[in-house]
Structure 1
């Protein structure tokens, strides 16, 4: 990352915090995603990767007719991203952490649903087209257009089109859609995902990937960034305490678990968390005694 002469170089964590410290509509998804990845690759040239995204967007704009509908947009992006650049979902190594790093996705031309959707959204943005992220159950897609012109696209499966029914079925199961008001379900459950929620989901995928590979330090780093973008997320606060314990940061784990218990709604079953907190306090005291010997 280039540093401006006379300025202090920020840490990857500070750069990420700065990228999300603005109203949701002003967050640059590609920049925030790249800064999220910089915790593991601190020398990422964010500007250079954004330039490559801009070039893809300009290529889409060049082949898109002035008068176009959502199918024309999806077709143009499909040609550039999936036919020419050959991006695709990594089904073989789905939980490879690189699939959540936008820089690695661009180098390897493959990634997970969220990272590829971010790329799709950002390429469309450069081309002057609004595309929204759509969170499904265990999947992530994008919506091109609005109202009757809206279509759903699956970047993980090379930009394939999805019907509204297919999207809803992925959430509820196809058998549960009989006699349902799909218009109402679409409005309620296929709403555009906020940029903060998209980044949070990207980081959640990264956290899970690192945990599966037993890279607890890196999983903790992802969890810390989730905490920056969503400090009220109780599930992540619990995960944060778990990961801090895994790497031996018992004092930090005590603080995180204490916050979790203080913020948990009344009536929540916190017995397991209380027991874990007692054990952590014992471990912290033991560590302090050994340090003082």
Structure 2
């Protein structure tokens, strides 16, 4: 399914109150407005420039620099209402609109953030930062990568390859869980973790994170069980020794039925 549809399905599973129908109506309305404004333009380069102008200038969508890690920037209903988001949420909406306009735009899971790739029919390739709608040069992308991985990092073909929607959804889910943990919304974070484990069963790092959530929810023995699994699967991980102490302490706590 399209990326934005996958995001809607994912969010509905993690938040029972998520207004999926309202979001779909808003997206369809925006697509019709974009088609009305731009479909008469036969030149696809001009049509793309027009969509960027419409989305970021006229409609006023922008990256949230003040509260980047807020969950409001991840849930699409909040993003549509506030017109603020992060690269993956803004990018998913922009990609949805671009596809409605028959523009050759696709997803890229660049190591530092989600970006959009435009592959023109003549073989020319451009990259867009969905956070602000600006085109990205290779110099900028190399700078991002070196800033994240060190001065000797080099961009490889895999860094700029088209990403599958499932891979992007997994990264989106991880960001959502991190935001909810930061906001101490542990019950919602647990739903994210459970969904992530349905997508990647037995992932020791995800099970470790679920153990942390269980601990915050005072489910001590469930937390100890998850930590123990991580220790068994990743004994060389630097966190393993610290978690052994956590397991010992958690197992001493009385069993609480939830």
Q: Shorter-chain TM-score: what band?
A: 0.7 to 0.9
Matched, 1:273 2:240: yes
Alignment of 1:87-126 (within 5 A): 87-126=61-100
Unaligned runs of 5+ in 2: none
- 1:58 paired residue number: 32
Consecutive aligned runs of 4 or more in structure 1 exceeding 4 Å deviation: 173-178
Per the TM alignment, residue 77 of structure 1 is displaced from its structure 2 partner at its CA by 1.9
Matched, 1:156 2:155: no
Per the TM alignment, residue 113 of structure 1 is displaced from its structure 2 partner at its CA by 1.3
Per the TM alignment, residue 75 of structure 1 is displaced from its structure 2 partner at its CA by 0.9
- 1:251 paired residue number: 221
Aligned length: 254
The 8 Å contact of residues 228 and 247 in structure 2, kept in 1 or not, is answered as: no
Unaligned runs of 5+ in 1: 1-26
- Quickly say closer, same or farther: Cα 1:232–1:67, change in 2 above 3 A: farther
Alignment of 1:192-231 (within 5 A): 192-231=162-201
RMSD of aligned residue pairs (Cα, Å)? 3.1
- 1:236 paired residue number: 206
Per the TM alignment, residue 281 of structure 1 is displaced from its structure 2 partner at its CA by 6.0
CA distance in 2, matches of 1:64, 1:145: 19
CA distance in 2, matches of 1:271, 1:79: 48
- Quickly say closer, same or farther: Cα 1:177–1:78, change in 2 above 3 A: farther
CA deviation map 1:79-108 (0-9, x unaligned): 331122211111111121111101110111
CA distance in 2, matches of 1:97, 1:58: 28
- Quickly say closer, same or farther: Cα 1:279–1:173, change in 2 above 3 A: closer
- Quickly say closer, same or farther: Cα 1:127–1:230, change in 2 above 3 A: farther
CA distance in 2, matches of 1:211, 1:193: 26
Could you say what secondary structure the match of 1:106 adopts?
helix
CA distance in 1, matches of 2:3, 2:174: 16
The 8 Å contact of residues 105 and 118 in structure 2, kept in 1 or not, is answered as: yes
Q: Give TM-score scaled by structure 2 length.
A: 0.82
- Quickly say closer, same or farther: Cα 1:173–1:105, change in 2 above 3 A: same
Q: Give TM-score scaled by structure 1 length.
A: 0.73
CA distance in 1, matches of 2:103, 2:229: 42
Per the TM alignment, residue 282 of structure 1 is displaced from its structure 2 partner at its CA by 5.6
CA distance in 1, matches of 2:117, 2:181: 31
CA distance in 1, matches of 2:151, 2:39: 39
Per the TM alignment, residue 200 of structure 1 is displaced from its structure 2 partner at its CA by 1.8
Per the TM alignment, residue 39 of structure 1 is displaced from its structure 2 partner at its CA by 5.5
The 8 Å contact of residues 143 and 150 in structure 1, kept in 2 or not, is answered as: yes
